[in-house]
Structure 1
Amino acid sequence: MLSWPRALVRKGRRDTGGGSSPEESAAREAGADPELGRASQWRLVWRKFRKHKLAVGGAVVVLAVYLVVVFAEFLAPASASATDERLTYAPPQTIQVDFSFSDGLDLYVYGYETRRDPETFEQKHTVDTSQKIPLRLLPRGESYEMWGLIPMDRHLFGPVDADQRAYFLGADRSGRDLLSRIIHGARVSLSIGLIGVVVSFALGLFFGGISGYFGGAPDTIIQRIIEFLMAIPTLPLWLALSAAVPPDWGPLMRYFAITTILSVIGWTGLARVVRGRFLSLREDDFVIAARLDGCGRRRIIFRHMVPSMSSHVIASLSMAVPAMILGETAMSFLGLGLQSPAVSWGVLLQEAQNVRTIETAPWLMLPGLAVFVTVLAMNFVGDGLRDSADPYK
């Protein structure tokens, strides 16, 4: 058996970059990462997405918001319906911090001193520095069932005494904690966005796929339907569809009705995106090769065409979720969607319609800030996914 001299072996390894192939050595000399040549498309998308700082920051915010949705009962200091009519329109309380080496960290808020205006008979709340409400982590409070299954009475943060109340973001006209209602309202508003997008995705992928793959008469009929739906003004369409919902339906039934309405309206844009991608993909070499190999239409669509455009579909879906959230918020704000006792961000913003109310209690606009931050973060994520959909650019 022939053996190469060790010096020649070491020289060959140095010439090829330590045992790597000539292609990897050339890529390394050109300044490129040789691992990219063997990386999958999803890994390339993730690599490019991480470089989009705003998208990564938006993803962190969106993840935090949906964690709030999942653990809403635990994170909220009180239930969404707990009222105290003595503290209507109570202003936000500021958390006070005292630290001493003997007692450690002491957190508390000052109580309220309530007086009634002798002329307008309106209640006025001022800070009462003589009354301290101690705060702590994981205090016992109002009982609830986590996810409707696990009975609990622990909350993340709140007063030590369960009989006392702390309004970190103020109270509404019924003396309900606004922070707790924003947290509980996030569950409804954000879940409507997800459910509506899932239904819109199914409709858009189905009709857009048929239109783009088959063309001809099916394409013409579907496109005329899409153009008809998109030509109807959005607000009158909401009015007509919401008027069809019986007023005696409960909050749950109206919840599913609003989801269905948003889905019926929202599938047309995604269908056009899917149609355009199918039109460009159906003449590609891999689709023609699959057709010549005897693959059926279903296999060609779901095993070859849909996976190749999945990144573009995900980017479109990420941009559709904020539109769904804004749609539910707008409908509930106008009184066409969810109504009390249901809690959503749009329902909370109904109380901010009166200018005098905003002048008296400007903190009632805070649900609008929650909508703004969430939608902006989702738009950043959508921009990052759209830019990363084609990692080779």
Structure 2
Amino acid sequence: MSALAATSILTVPSVAEPFSTAPCALRRTDAHHSEGVDTWNPAYPRPTRPLDAVMVFLSFPDSAPRSTPAQLAADHFPGTSRFFEQVSYGRFTLRPHPLDHWIRMPQASASYAIKRDWNAAQRSAYLRDAFAVADREVDFSRYDVVYFVADPDAPGVDSDATKVVNLDAPVRVDGKEIRRVVTVFERHPPDRLVLAHETGHLFDLPDLYHRPADQRGDWDTYVGDWDLMGSQFGLAPDLFAWHKWKLGWLEPRQVRCVQGTAPTRLTLEPLGAGEAPAGAAAGSPAFGLGGGVKLAVVRTGPDSALAFEARGPAGPDHGICHQGVLVYRVHSAAASGDGPVEVVDAHPRTEGCWEGSVYPPLADAPVALGESFTVPGDGVKVEAEARTASGAWTLKITPKLGG
């Protein structure tokens, strides 16, 4: 068994599941984790039904664990499930099934040379051993998602190595084909929302951060605080409305395609409307109270679009200090990590949220009430004209100035 890093380009299956026929739905391309929404890639489980996840806890012969499996499971659940229930408006439930004991790996932790940019042969050896020891006790046919959680205190474990590993050929275990797993090496307690970020990759969501070549620059220049797939430390880690469209959590009527050249007026419901407080059960009446338009889209090219959504201090975004209409570019031909989404800063000369933002230059990016903004290079103008009694935003979008 060999494995590829999570950022590797994988072959896109030839048979895709039709999804959206909207005129502003970008086509899915061969780019890794393409932001296209016309079809769903069937190589990934679609989070529109409950999915079951097994957590396997791996220890090593050179170290006695200082944490229990129950403590490590509690680091991630129910928090991760609650996040997805909230941002999906109760449409998706991730059901964890953590083992209650350690399973010992055959080799010392240091022998696997675990690190962020992992040697392919050593990473494959780790996965091969993990599947071999776990298969004695786990019926993998019962699960949609696999988390291999390593003893965080073992001397050879590097917390920076937590990631999704895509397999270049599916592993067949218990009659089930497994295409990817999440390898968890987080310290105890872990980084905030880290498992939610990695689980997002299992649903074909890309990395939205920028990784500097020298590792010394800023990682958050593309989207700042505004999406979990950019930074799980962000003040506004809700998922973009585009991602909720892609995952099947928005109904067709909640996406408005703005076409032609004439000004178009529309009302955008805040992204957080309909997200019940964390901890509410899926299917609760608290979910789904907001069913209005969440996303407006202007097509700008065969593989590009401008997206507009209303963000405010609700749901996971409770920490933001600037609310308004967020504008971002989507590129369906850009691969994960190469800027498939870029937030457009409506206030490029100012910054915000210095006390907690991962990237203050984009913290005040939204178009505020009463402001107008023309997107540089695209000539699309948006005006945030008013707010309704329920908190929705009334906009005017002009696709082509002077067109």
TM-score (norm 2): 0.29
- Greater share of residues in helix: 1
**TM-score normalised over the length of structure 1:** 0.29
| Structure with greater Cα Rg | 1
Of structures 1 and 2, the one scoring higher in RCO (CA 8 A, sep 6+) is 1
